[in-house]
Amino acid sequence: MDKAKLMDGIKKYTMIIVLVLVTLFFTWQTGGKILLPQNISNLISQNAYVFVLASGMLLCILTGGNIDLAVGSVVCFVGAVGATLMETKGWNPVAATIMMLLVGLAIGAWQAFWIAYVHVPPFITTLAGMLVFRGLSNVVLDGLTVSLTNKKFVQVFGGGADCYIPDFFGGNGFNITCMVFGVLACAIYIIVQIKNRMNRAKKGYEMESLASMLVKTVVICAAVLAFTFRLSQYKGIPTALVWVLIVVLIYGYITSKTTTGRYFYAVGGNEKATKLSGINTKKVYFIAYTNMGFLAALAGMLTIARQTSANPTQGTNYEMDAISSCFVGGASAYGGVGTIPGVIIGALLMGIINQGMSIMGVDANYQKVVKGLVLLAAVIFDIVTKKNDK
C-alpha cells in the first residue's frame, strides 16, 4: 500500500479511530465503569434524541452548511403540547402522538417556507423560531412542569425503567432476544456487503480491495456483537433504541440510495449548477426543514417519555448536540458532504464524552468546554483537509 492510499484511509476513518481512542481513555479513567452493561444501555436511552435530531440536521447541513437553531425549542413545544393534551385534556396517547407529529410538521413547513421561497437566511429564520417556540412552550405549560402518567405512551417511547423489548426466549439474567438480534444484524450486513460488491463488479465500477472489505466487515460485526452482548447482560434492547434504528435506517437509505437524497448533496455542492440542471432547489430546502420539524416532534416524544414530564426548559442546547454530532461525524461546514453512519459515530463520540466525564465527576461547566473544543477541532479538521486536497 502506497503512502497516498494510507493517508486517504486514515482521513476516511479518522473519527472511528478517535471514537476508539476516546472510549479506551474513559475506560481507563473510569476503571471500566463506562463499559458496564447498564451504562451502555443508558448511553443509548439518554442520547436517543441526539441520533434522531442529528439525522434531520444532516439534511439541512448538506444543503450548504445550514443549520436549524430552533430544534431544541420545537422539542420543548411539541412535548408541552403532547403532555398537556394527554394529562389536562384527557386525550388518548395515539391521538396525542398524531397531533404532536402534525404540530412538528407544521412548524417545520412554516420555517421551510420562509427559507425556501422567501429566501430568509436559515440562521435568522430558525433563530427566530428558537425564541418563538421557547416562549410558546412557557405559555402552554404556564411555566410549570406537567407530569406524564400515561404508561402506554411512556413505554412505547422509551421512558421509565421497564421500557425494553421483552425476551421472547425467556433468558434468565441474559436477554437472548437481544443477542439474536445482534447476530441477525451482522448476517444482514454481510449479505448486503457481498451483494453490493457483486453488483459493482458486474457493472465494472471501482471497488475497495477485498482485504479492506473483510477487515471493515469483521470490525463492524465485532462491534455490533460486543454491543448487543453488553445490552443482553442488562435488560436487553431499550425501546428508545428501536426508534433510533428506524430513523437511522430510513435516513441512511434516503441519503445513499434515493434520487431525493442525491439532491441534498447536489445543492450543497453547487446550488447554481443544480438549479441549471433542472432540479427544484427550493423544494429541496423545503423538504429539509419540514423534515427537521417532523424529527423534532419525534425527539420531543422521546424526551417527555424518558423524563416522564414536560417542562419549559426541556430541549435546551439540543440543537447544539445535533449540530456537533453532524460536524464531528464528518459533515462539511460548507455543505454537500456527510453521511448517516458519520452522524452515528459523531453522536456516539459526544455521548461517550458526556457520560465519561459525568462518571468521572467532571464539573458540568468543564464538560461544555470540552464539547465546544471537540466541535471546533472537527470543523478545523474539515477546513484544513479541504485546503490540502486543493
- Residues 189, 325, single domain; the answer is no
Number of C-alpha atoms within 13 angstroms, CB side, residue 281?
Answer: 19
Question: Could you tell me the three cell numbers for 140?
Answer: 402552554
Q: Which residue has the higher pLDDT, 19 or 116?
A: 116
Residue 390 pLDDT grade (very low, low, confident, very high; cuts 50, 70, 90): low
Residue range of the domain that includes 249: 15-25+32-163+240-389
Answer whether residue 358 is part of any domain: yes
User: Region 197-201: what's the mean pLDDT?
Assistant: 86
pLDDT digits (tens, 9 = 90+) for 295-320: 999 999 999 999 999 999 999 999 99
pLDDT higher than threshold 60 for residue 2: no
How far apart are the C-alpha atoms of 309 and 257, rounded to whole Å? 38
* pLDDT score for 162: 67
pLDDT higher than threshold 70 for residue 138: yes
Question: Could you tell me the three cell numbers for 238?
Answer: 431499550
User: Region 90-119: what's the mean pLDDT?
Assistant: 96
User: Region 352-359: what's the mean pLDDT?
Assistant: 91
Write out the H or E segment, with its range, that includes residue 146: strand 146-147
Answer whether residue 231 is part of any domain: yes
Closest Cα partner for 82 from 319, 318, 296?
A: 296
* pLDDT score for 388: 62
User: Region 70-86: what's the mean pLDDT?
Assistant: 96
pLDDT higher than threshold 50 for residue 360: yes
User: Region 62-87: what's the mean pLDDT?
Assistant: 94
Looking at the 3D structure of the chain, how many domains does it have? 2
DSSP state of 35: G
pLDDT higher than threshold 60 for residue 6: no
* pLDDT score for 210: 81
How far apart are the C-alpha atoms of 7 and 2, rounded to whole Å? 9
How far apart are the C-alpha atoms of 252 and 237, rounded to whole Å? 21
Collapse the DSSP code of 100 into the 3-class scheme (helix H, G, I; strand E, B; otherwise coil) and give the result: helix
Answer whether residue 10 is part of any domain: no
* pLDDT score for 160: 60
* pLDDT score for 204: 80
- Residues 48, 143, single domain; the answer is yes
Q: Is residue 250 a contact partner of residue 335, using CB atoms and an 8 Å limit?
A: no
- Residues 156, 172, single domain; the answer is no
User: Region 370-374: what's the mean pLDDT?
Assistant: 87
pLDDT higher than threshold 80 for residue 384: no
- Residues 200, 333, single domain; the answer is no
pLDDT digits (tens, 9 = 90+) for 200-243: 888 888 777 788 888 889 989 999 999 999 999 988 899 999 99
- Residues 37, 159, single domain; the answer is yes
Residue at a domain's end among 179, 206, 237: 237
pLDDT higher than threshold 50 for residue 141: yes
* pLDDT score for 221: 93
The per-residue b/e assignment along 343-373, b for 16 or more CB within 10 angstroms, e otherwise, is bbbbbbbbbbbbbbbbbeebeeeebeeebee
Give 199-206's long-range contacts (Cβ < 8 A, gap of 24+).
none
What is the residue-averaged pLDDT of the chain?
90
pLDDT digits (tens, 9 = 90+) for 258-297: 999 999 999 998 889 999 999 999 999 999 999 999 999 9
* pLDDT score for 207: 78
- Residues 326, 228, single domain; the answer is no
User: Region 250-264: what's the mean pLDDT?
Assistant: 93
| CATH number, residue 359 | 1.10.3470
- Residues 146, 246, single domain; the answer is yes
Residue 1 pLDDT grade (very low, low, confident, very high; cuts 50, 70, 90): very low
Q: Cα dist. 97→22, 101, 110, 134 in Å?
A: 38, 6, 20, 20
Residue at a domain's end among 237, 261, 296: 237
